[in-house]
Amino acid sequence: QVQLQESGPGLVKPSETLSLTCTVSDYSITNDYYWGWIRQPPGKGLEWIGSILHNGHTYYNPSLKSRVTISLDTSKNQFSLKLTSVTAADTALYHCVRDASSAPADYWGQGTLVTVSS
Amino acid sequence: QAGLTQPPSVSKDLRQTATLTCAGNSNNVGYRGAAWLQRHQGHPPKLLSYRNNNRPSGVSERFSASRSGNTASLTITGLQPEDEADYYCSAWDRGLNAWVFGGGTKLTVL
C-alpha cells in the first residue's frame, strides 16, 4: 500500500515561496508513475498543480507554470513543491499524489493546509 | 478554475439511483474519457473509476462510469447513506497538456 505524507509550513507570507515535501513509503518513486500535487482552496474544487517522473520530466498546470517547480530527492524517496510569489488565492489544502497516468491520482496524502497571510 | 462542467448538487432518495454528469470537450473527456473521485469531508479523495469504467480494486460495483461523446457519467445504484459526498470528474486535456477537473457535485442522499 503506497503511503504519502506532506510536510511543510502551514503559514506563508504573501509574495514569499511556498515549499512542501512529500515523503513516500512502501513504494519507490524511481519506479513507474508520475508523482504530483493537487490542491483544493477552501470551499472550492480540486486543482491539479503538476507532476514529475522519476527521470525528472515534469509537466505543470499552464495557469501556474511560471511559479511552480516540482523536484525529486530519490535518496530520501521524496518529492517537493515550490510555488513562488504566493497570494491569498494560493491558500489551500495541498495533497501530494501518485499520478496514475490514466487518472490524476490513485494514491493521496492526507493533505496539508497552507494559509497565505501576513 | 474548473475545466469540466458538473452540476453543483444532486439529491436522491435512499436506495435509488443517481447519475452524475461531467461535460467536457473533444480535447479532454472526448479524448481519453474521465476519471471519477469521491471525497468525504475531512478525507482525501478516493479514485472510483478511470478511463470511463475501470474500477480500482475495492470499489463497489454500485459505481459505474460511462461516456457519450464529450460527456462522462457516473451512476450510483442502491444509494446508501455513506454515498453522500462530493464527486469530482477529471480528464487529461491534450490541448493544455494538463489534468483538468470539474467543479464537483455534492450528492445528498435523502
Q: What is the DSSP string of A62-96?
A: TTTTTTEEEEEETTTTEEEEEE-S--GGG-EEEEE
Q: Which cell numbers hold the place of A32?
A: 513507474
Contact A46 B100 (CB under 8 A): no
Q: How far is residue A35's CA from residue B39's CA, in Å, rounded to a whole number?
A: 20
Sign, Cα dihedral of A101, B1, B40, A60: positive
Residue-wise pLDDT for A29-44, tens only, equals: 998 899 999 999 999 9
CB A102 within 8 A of CB B35: yes
Helices (H), B7-52: 29-32
Strands B35-39 and B46-49: antiparallel
pLDDT given at position A1: 86
pLDDT given at position B1: 47
Q: Which cell numbers hold the place of B79?
A: 444509494
pLDDT given at position A44: 92
Question: Taking CB atoms and an 8 Å cutoff, what residues of chain B touch A60?
Answer: 98
Give helix then strand counts, H and E, for chain A: 0, 11
Q: pLDDT tens digits for chain B (110 residues)?
A: 458 999 999 999 999 999 999 999 999 999 999 999 999 999 999 999 998 789 998 999 999 999 999 999 999 999 999 999 999 999 999 999 999 999 999 999 99
Residues 6+ apart with CB under 8 A from A40: A46, A47, A92, A93, A95, A111
pLDDT given at position B25: 96
Q: How far is residue A114's CA from residue A94's CA, in Å, rounded to a whole number?
A: 7
CA dist A21 to A8, A59, A77, A89, B81, Å?
6, 18, 10, 20, 36
* Residue A30 C-beta-side C-alpha neighbours within 13 Å: 5
CA distance B98 to chain A (A): 6
Contact A103 B103 (CB under 8 A): no
Question: Taking CB atoms and an 8 Å cutoff, what residues of chain B touch A1?
Answer: none
Q: What is the mean pLDDT of residues A51-71?
A: 94
Question: Taking CB atoms and an 8 Å cutoff, what residues of chain B touch A104?
Answer: 35, 90, 99, 101
pLDDT given at position B28: 95
CB neighbours of residue B34 within 10 Å: 32
DSSP state of B103: -
Q: Does B99 touch chain A (CB under 8 A)?
A: yes
* Residue B94 C-beta-side C-alpha neighbours within 13 Å: 11
Question: In chain B, positions 41-60, which contact chain A (CB-CB < 8 Å)?
Answer: 44-47, 50-51, 54, 56
CA dist B50 to A29, B36, B59, B91, Å?
22, 7, 12, 9
Contact A45 B104 (CB under 8 A): yes
